[in-house]
């Protein structure tokens, strides 16, 4: 490990440690319950008050605590939750409307550009192919809860197809338009630390853990028509997968 990496890990460890300790403390308390005063809490967690304040600011922005000046800090009520299975492909916009969850999308940042090497590989197009990039933030009230990016070959979607303002879903646009004829999506689920654009867009501290869905939308002719990256702030969305008993396992039980 080189010197810069050692310094980076050292500089991040106190903040990550207090985030984990504070998250554990919050999880063991009920909504409306008051946290200890800041000096006492900093001593309890073994960190400086400056480090504690930075961590608490992140938890407050994510709606997990409420800080009342001159009164104290309280556990916030649980945020509204979108819960869905991943077996059926639908946009977050459609899902939210279906369950009555109020969200809104920021105006998208849209640009036509050459595909980055990893994007070209995921889209199965030649390096340097033109793509349309569509990035937007999903909010619940004033709180950013997801950062969504779609990368689409310009053979399927151009800037002028989206109009003057666009804050919807590329998937829904394809479905309404009826072309390309869609088949399925392949999605990888992982965790990723918030850095750079992600941290800024989601009002997260650098290093905060986000849920990441990386997906390829595939048409009926087998072509990849959309490569998407979706980053979610924990606590606002919950995904589940229904898994059925495989034939092999059934056969073992019957023997």
Where are the chain's structural domains? 3-75, 82-240
Which one, of 125, 131, 181, 179, lies nearest residue 158 by Cα?
A: 131
The fold of 3-75 is: Arc Repressor Mutant, subunit A (1.10.10)
Output the pLDDT for position 118. Answer: 96
Residue 51 confidence (pLDDT): 85
What local confidence, expressed as pLDDT, does residue 38 receive?
A: 87
* pTM of the predicted model as reported, rounded to 2 decimal places: 0.69
Per-residue pLDDT of the chain (255 residues; tens, 9 = 90+): 454 444 444 444 567 778 888 888 888 888 888 999 888 988 888 888 888 888 888 788 777 788 887 788 988 776 666 677 777 788 888 777 776 677 788 888 999 999 999 999 999 999 999 999 999 998 887 788 899 999 999 999 999 999 877 888 999 999 999 999 999 999 999 999 998 999 899 988 778 889 999 999 999 999 999 999 999 988 777 787 888 887 765 555 555
What pLDDT is attached to residue 212? 95
Phi, then psi, of 211 in degrees rounded to 5? -90, 130
What's the confidence (pLDDT) of residue 28? Answer: 87
Cβ atoms 80, 73 nearer than 8 A: no
Alpha carbon of 97 to those of 44, 119, 163, 171, 241: distances in Å? 44, 30, 22, 15, 21
Backbone angles phi, psi at 229, to 5 degrees: -125, 125
Task: Give Cβ neighbours of residue 235 (< 8 Å, ≥ 6 apart).
Answer: 62, 63, 64, 78, 79, 81
pLDDT for 57: 83
Torsion angle, alpha carbons of 116, 121, 127, 130, to 10: -70
pLDDT score recorded for residue 75: 87
Instruction: Report the topology of domain 82-240.
Output: Chorismate lyase (3.40.1410)
Question: What is the pLDDT at residue 249?
Answer: 57
Signed CA dihedral, 31, 34, 36, 39: sign only:
positive
């Amino acid at each position: 490990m080189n010197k810069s990496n050692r310094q980076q890990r050292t500089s991040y460890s106190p903040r990550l440690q207090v985030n984990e300790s504070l998250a554990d403390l919050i999880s063991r308390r009920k909504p409306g319950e008051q946290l200890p005063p800041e000096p006492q809490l900093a001593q309890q967690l073994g960190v400086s008050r400056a480090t504690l304040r930075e961590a608490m600011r992140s938890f407050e922005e994510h709606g997990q605590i409420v800080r009342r000046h001159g009164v104290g800090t309280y556990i916030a009520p649980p945020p509204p939750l979108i819960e869905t299975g991943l077996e059926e492909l639908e946009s977050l916009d459609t899902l939210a409307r279906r369950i009555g969850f109020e969200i809104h999308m920021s105006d998208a940042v849209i640009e036509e550009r050459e595909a980055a090497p990893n994007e070209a590989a995921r889209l199965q197009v030649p390096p340097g192919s033109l793509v349309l990039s569509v990035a937007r933030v999903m909010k619940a009230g004033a709180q950013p809860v997801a950062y969504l990016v779609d990368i689409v070959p310009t053979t399927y979607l151009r800037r002028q197809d989206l109009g003057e303002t666009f804050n919807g879903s590329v998937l829904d646009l394809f479905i309404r338009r009826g072309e390309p004829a869609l088949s399925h999506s392949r999605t990888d689920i992982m965790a990723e630390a918030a850095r750079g654009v992600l941290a800024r867009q989601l009002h997260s501290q650098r290093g905060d853990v986000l849920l990441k869905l990386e997906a390829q939308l595939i048409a009926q002719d087998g072509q990849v028509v959309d490569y998407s990256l979706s980053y979610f702030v924990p606590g606002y969305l919950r995904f589940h997968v229904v898994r059925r008993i495989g034939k092999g396992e059934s056969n073992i039980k019957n023997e």
